[in-house]
Amino acid sequence: MPDQDSLPRKQQLRIRDMTIDDLSTVFHLGEEIFTAEYSPSLYRTWDEYEITTLFNSDSELCLVAEHEGQIVGFALGTTVEKHHSAWKYGYLVWLGVRPFMQKLRVGARLFREIKRRMREQGVRMIIIDTDAENEAAIRFFTKQGFGNVQEHVYMTLNLGRKQKGKKRDGAAPGKNLAGH
At 120, the amino acid letter reads E
pLDDT of residue 164: 66
Helix, strand or coil, per DSSP, at residue 25: helix
Give residue-wise pLDDT tens across range 128-168: 988 888 888 899 999 999 998 887 777 778 888 776 665 55
Cβ atoms of residues 91 and 1 within 8 Å: no
Q: What is the CATH number of the domain that holds 123?
A: 3.40.630.30
The predicted structure's pLDDT at residue 11 = 56
Could you give the C-alpha distances from 99 to 87, 108, 121, in angstroms and in order? 35, 14, 31
pLDDT category at 58 given cuts 50, 70, 90 is very high
One DSSP character per residue, 127-167 reads E----TT-HHHHHHHHHTT-------------TTSPPTTS-
The share of the chain scoring above pLDDT 90, in percent, equals: 51
Q: Would residue 119 count as lying in a domain? A: yes
In a domain, 145, yes or no: yes
Give me the pLDDT at residue 8, please. 46
Containing domain of residue 91, as a range?
A: 4-150
Predicted pLDDT at 135: 87
Please say if the pLDDT value at position 69 is more than 80: yes
The C-alpha atoms of residue 18 and residue 30 are separated, in whole angstroms, by: 14
The C-alpha atoms of residue 109 and residue 112 are separated, in whole angstroms, by 5
Closest of 72, 68, 77 to residue 96, by C-alpha: 72
For residue 140, being part of any structural domain is answered with yes
Number of structural domains (the chain) is: 1
Rounded to whole angstroms, how far apart are CA atoms 167 and 23?
Answer: 44
Sign of the Cα pseudo-torsion (140, 145, 148, 150, in order): negative
Q: What is the DSSP letter of 172?
A: P
Bigger pLDDT: 2 or 19? 19
Q: Residue 173: inside a domain, yes or no?
A: no
pLDDT of 107 higher than 90 = yes
